[in-house]
Amino acid sequence: GLPRTQGRHDAIWVVVDRLTKSAHFLSIRKDYSISRLAEIFQQEIVRLHGNWDDYICLVEFAYNNSWHASIKCAPFKMLYGRKCCAPICWDQVRERVIEGPEMIEVTNAKVAVSKEKLKEARARQKSYADKHRRSLEFQPGDHV
């Protein structure tokens, strides 16, 4: 391990943001409990970014408008048949609106495509899981 500091720290906790890859390095002790680490996370990381509750609607918007490998498009586009237009773009010319029987036809086609893409994704995920699966046997009294 690392030499103990004056603050009795003997480890570095690295917290990496998966989106931006920015990192925070926090000096800690190896024997900190999970509740102590949670406190440190709140004090040192959450305080920098504010209350995540305030951003949950933006996270939902980003998720539903991001491309998903399993369906090969964004969930919003799969659901509504068009790209989502954020308020900042409302003054721009958009694709024509599909109505009536044509809308039902287009929607049914999209549902069929979505089902097929999800079936392919499940098969891919199952194949991967099966390659890494190992047989486990448990006996009465085993802690699992």
What is the domain partition of the chain in residue ranges?
11-50, 67-132
Q: Which backbone phi and psi does 53 adopt, to 5 degrees?
A: -55, -35
> What pTM was computed for the model?
0.41
Query: Which amino acid is located at 33 in the chain?
Result: S
More confident residue, 139 or 18: 139
Cα–Cα distance list, 19 to 22, 23, 54 (Å) = 8, 11, 18
Minimum mean pLDDT among 30-39, 68-77, 88-97: which range? Answer: 88-97
pLDDT given at position 38: 96
More confident residue, 37 or 142: 37
Write down the residue that tokens 């570095």 correspond to.
12
Q: What is the pLDDT averaged over residues 73-97?
A: 73
Q: What is the pLDDT averaged over residues 51-67?
A: 86
- Residue 93 pLDDT class (50, 70, 90 cuts): low
